[in-house]
Amino acid sequence: MTADAGPVARSASDVARDAAFERDALPWLDDVYRFALSLTREESDADDVVQETFLRAYRSWHTFIPGTDCRRWLFTICRNVFLRSRERQRPTVDLEDGEQDAVAASSVYEAARERGYDDIFARLDLAPALREALDELAEPFRSAVILVDVEDMSYESAAEVMGVPIGTVRSRLFRGRRLLQEKLVTVAEDLGFQGAGAR
């Protein structure tokens, strides 16, 4: 008969790795969850994405460079997990070039101004409408808006998380903001707000 060996002894490097992961990665759990929820729009899906994100992060912890931005690194993993989970369901969106976006955005603003909605953002409680509009925003525009406008990341950080050039982030952010603007003008009209020109 052999005696039970008991729990396997962990090496000092495993203990140090776990301590570093707990110290550097786990404090960002709430931020990663909030980001995952903004992408999935479903709590159960966000839970799954966060769980997979931290599992992948733990497995890849040896690739994390101490002293760099762990939050950004986790957001990158989170977004990749989300995109992989949605590959079959994700609708394709044609990306316009920056010049077309600029013309379109100015035309949306001009049309809103002509209808008397130039001060709509000062008169309308935007929180619920903005949440709904963000939820309806298609990828990749939603990620750009969330990372830069909600999570307050720089264009450079957002580009790294999204895995695209900074110019692409700017273009997607510009178009995402324009789409949000269109949705919010529609919300204002649906709520019965009348523009100055309609009085």
Residue type at 131 in one-letter notation: R
Question: How many other C-beta atoms are found inside a 10 Å radius of the C-beta of residue 197?
Answer: 11
Last residue of a domain, one of 59, 86, 113: 86
Condensed to tens digits (0 to 9), the pLDDT of residues 66-114 reads 999 999 999 999 999 998 887 755 455 544 444 455 445 455 555 555 6
Last residue of a domain, one of 61, 86, 111: 86
Instruction: Tell me the CATH number at 81.
Output: 1.10.1740.10
Last residue of a domain, one of 86, 118, 146: 86
Query: Which pLDDT belongs to residue 89?
Result: 59
For CA atoms 51, 54, 56, 58, give the dihedral sign: negative
> Quick one: 148 and 69 in the same domain?
no
> Quick one: 105 and 183 in the same domain?
yes
* Residue partners of 198: CB distance under 8 A and separation at least 6: 115, 116
> Quick one: 130 and 170 in the same domain?
yes
Condensed to tens digits (0 to 9), the pLDDT of residues 105-150 reads 455 555 555 655 555 545 555 667 677 888 888 888 988 999 998 8
| Overall number of domains in the chain | 2
This model's pTM is above 0.85: no
133 inside domain: yes
